[in-house]
Amino acid sequence: MSKVLITGAGGYIGSIAAYQLLQKGYEIVGIDNFSRGFKQPLEFLKEKFGEEKIRYYNFDIKSDLSPLFEKEKNIDAVIHYAAFLSVDESMKKPEDYFTNNVAGSQNLFTYLLKNNIKKIIFSSTCAVYGNAEYIPIDERHKTEPTNPYGASKVMVENILKWYDKLKDIKFISLRYFNVCGASDDGLIGDSKKPSVHLMQNAIRGALDLEPFYLTFPEVETPDKSPIRDYCNVVDLNEAHILALDYLMKGGKSEIINLGTGTGNSVLEIITKVKEETGKDIKLEKSSPREGEYAKAVASIQKAKDVLGWEPKRSIADSVKSLVAWYKAHPEGWKE
């Protein structure tokens, strides 16, 4: 099987991706600077699968990556997850987002070109679209982000488009809608405290692990809370594996949405967490997050047509896997 470099391998989505790829026989090289990711899930995977199948290194994507590529030869493809990803934080510290997400990605791409690695799966976001002009949002929707996080991802997509034209890099940019859930067996989940994701924080509130706060501004939806498209993290990463296979077989560069094609409001997700856990959640309000928009639901027809992908797991499945994760790891991974 192929040898794949995963950036941000110690993060929530990256560590679950490594787990799924290892189960399918891929060889994994992970990098993370561990400013926001964790070594523990990678140690867990190394113990489970062996160092010949997974190795990880402490590298920042903005740094000199020559030592990595001198040691790890014959990398076939890259899944680029490493990024800062908080809409609210990006409004307060835009400089961090443009430095890390844009300059960091460009630095990574320079080393990929030097080492003739020309297949990239890029972790993008529905935040590139901004306020929806129509629902569901397809890939033809204009990109007018309302926050620096979304803007940073558009910039990287544009860099990749130029490298496709001029340097023959082939890429799949996967525009995620909202991500939820843990690995199906509950062994790897989201360790951020608090997470940037609603469902994770609601479950931690239901399990009395930490207070839960409503952080949304009132918007024009039936219950006044934002509507989002919640995609299970395992389904999401299955799309990455199909995208890898697509590029390995000579597929052309594409930009593809990942979601479910359906939407749930913040308050609906909280109700679902209450139903699945049998627990009430004390709802407290804190200052609303900046840069939010009212509704975002994906059209996933292109993912079906190009990758043969569609999500399999329900909101209830996501809640159950996260409950299992948080019950086993109430404090998440250790720092």
Give me the active site residues, please: 149
CA–CA dist 213, 196 (Å, integer): 12
Q: Quote the tokens at residue 115.
A: 């080492």
Residue for token digits 């940037």?
196
CA–CA dist 111, 244 (Å, integer): 20
CA–CA dist 210, 114 (Å, integer): 46
Q: Checking DSSP bridges between strand 54-58 and strand 77-80, what pairing results, if any?
A: unpaired
